[in-house]
Structure 1
């Protein structure tokens, strides 16, 4: 099986984003280069170093911890000299200019990638189209339960959603985090905030609220930063999207397949013209090019689109949007060479640009599966 991210330098992503500078603007814009930092942790570290509230530092995109990424950030009230003097290990800010608005999530246009693929038995082959699924990062990464929390919220099972958030233990988590989650489960409702690691900021915030307001699980979700809480619903929308797209591709005829958190993902290397819905409260089957498939998936999960509208937690309400079933790729693929980290195996470098919201890891997976089919 191929390997990614054996070294931080094996996975480099750069945001593509137009900025509208204004020398008199109150927001400082900078290009953040980070190595093995998640975006939320990097923004928190920057805010702390500048002695600013966390919400004064914002980013347009959320990037993984693994690898190297370059992304734009905005800092309210900061000056060029402050940003460029910051000394944080594996974080560097390059001042870009000033502007009138903070950066917001998904404000960037695209991401450019340069990825080293290791441990290959045979060279990869170029592909021209990508089935536009959501990859595992969308569902939580090391804690792949984000969509499950979203499902519980949609069922208005607020306590169940909170139990998933606080107590779900996964093997890839740090031991200290896993121990804290076991404690939260064992002592449900009888916790001490001081017993929860400081780095689990979201968990500490909701536990404090629940200790002050026993049983107020909806209120506890108000304590979570919006960028995080909305991900729960968006992740479940993405889960449904993957199921709808998978059924659509399978109906047309798959050429290969992969397996993801959401199940089998059929793959093809050709254009599929339909746009697939991320179902929200205003879903209209008359606007849906795959309405029959969508209806089948919604019935399977016993869902009415209206449940995506929240009166008690209005910031979780989600409308319907459409996403292309496939996207065109323009890949650059190096010649294969010996992989020094895996003697007897090959490595190749792949470079490409993707629109925001599409997944580089899926490009590599599709290349591998479709190349394997031809061999």
Structure 2
């Protein structure tokens, strides 16, 4: 019979993740100590792995008369959307003209494919020098990239600063790999969906669904966590007191949204709808989708706490504005606790037509492919462990890595 653990740290419980499917002790350590410790290689729908050391990977897609240009990039420690913004600026085209299959982690080395409607001969000379981005291949093609049009990603992850003996590290990882291969890994939405430093994205989404823009904005501005810088905490306290003019000056320049929102509320007191429009539409959607993810995570956790392991659960319906024929009683109870009804989702749709929250069934379990321990190496007074695995799209590497590490502090562990 499967033995599960229910000792997830408080930071994970806030986002609905409460259970480990593997009973073995973790190895601790840290991920992403350096971008080279987290390597992501995109896998196309036909199974082509865009390997870092690959050559002529796009030759089979080449068509001199193609209406698109495919760009194979390797980004290092840069957000996917920031990279796209830089490329768009170089090409003098709108950012939304650059297509990509999926977002990749910022603090990583990631190889992925982009698609632009610009002739290939006009590209190479204009984007040869972009900070933190290496252009690997450029070919004309009729192959079009769209969001979600990929098989998945291959991950090679180094877990550093592991304070255990070498053989114990190997034994624990191999034991966890065996457990995951037998029972599957719970398909939780990962930590980055909610924010690691400030896991509040889903809370803002909850208030947005309820039509309470004031609480949504005040949560974004004023909710602080001990791990934030003292200057930021001070600014958030000013915002909580309604001293928006002072708060706008106190927030660091990099917190652009906070500064703009405070300026608007100082000039237009109580106009939270105007303040909310500071957020780009993509971020507004993310808030609502994060709440949807939170309900899924809590539902899956509750099912597992009742003794069901992920492979026994066919799938869980993600709640949305089109009420499904079947929905888990657990999900309904969570909505009831939060004071949310399906009418709230429909009202949100009428207020913000571009925010669609569709119901769909998400798998409760995934089995990583080619999951293996690559090596364990001595590093000063500690060890590092390198693991490799393939995940299909819509699955989170951090959800698998938490099973291996079982971290007590997510921030210190690099999540």
**Shorter-chain TM-score category?**
0.7 to 0.9
Structure ranking higher in strand proportion: 1
SS of structure 1 residue aligned to 2:154: strand
1:311-330 maps to which residues of 2 (within 5 A)?
Answer: 311-330=350-369
1:80 aligns with 2:123: yes
Number of matched pairs: 348
8 Å Cα contact 1:7/1:67 also seen in 2: yes
The partner residue of 2:339 within 277, 302, 315 is: 302
Distance 2:255 2:370 in 1: 39
* Inter-CA distance 324–45: structure 2 relative to 1 (3 Å threshold): same
1:249 aligns with 2:304: yes
1:163 aligns with 2:218: yes
TM-score normalised by the chain length of structure 2: 0.72
Distance 1:48 1:280 in 2: 36
Could you tell me which residue of structure 1 aligns to residue 396 of structure 2?
359
Could you tell me which residue of structure 2 aligns to residue 331 of structure 1?
370
CA offset at residue 357 of structure 1?
Answer: 2.0
The partner residue of 2:71 within 18, 30, 36 is: 30
8 Å Cα contact 2:372/2:389 also seen in 1: no
8 Å Cα contact 2:91/2:123 also seen in 1: no
Distance 1:75 1:180 in 2: 41
* Inter-CA distance 360–217: structure 2 relative to 1 (3 Å threshold): same
CA offset at residue 153 of structure 1?
Answer: 0.6
Greater RCO, CA 8 A, separation 6+: 2
Q: Which moved more, 1:161-170 or 1:9-18?
A: 161-170
TM-score normalised by the chain length of structure 1: 0.78
CA offset at residue 354 of structure 1?
Answer: 1.1
The partner residue of 2:41 within 3, 8, 14 is: 14
Q: Which moved more, 1:142-151 or 1:42-51?
A: 42-51
Structure 2 residues not aligned, in runs of 5+: 1-27, 46-57, 407-415
* Inter-CA distance 85–44: structure 2 relative to 1 (3 Å threshold): same
Residues 213-238 of structure 1: per-residue CA shift (max 9 Å, x gap): 65432344344222221110010011
Residues 157-180 of structure 1: per-residue CA shift (max 9 Å, x gap): 112212222344445556776666
The partner residue of 1:112 within 154, 165, 181 is: 154
CA offset at residue 240 of structure 1?
Answer: 0.5
SS of structure 1 residue aligned to 2:321: coil
* Inter-CA distance 197–45: structure 2 relative to 1 (3 Å threshold): farther
Distance 2:255 2:99 in 1: 20
Could you tell me which residue of structure 2 aligns to residue 138 of structure 1?
193
Distance 1:278 1:299 in 2: 15
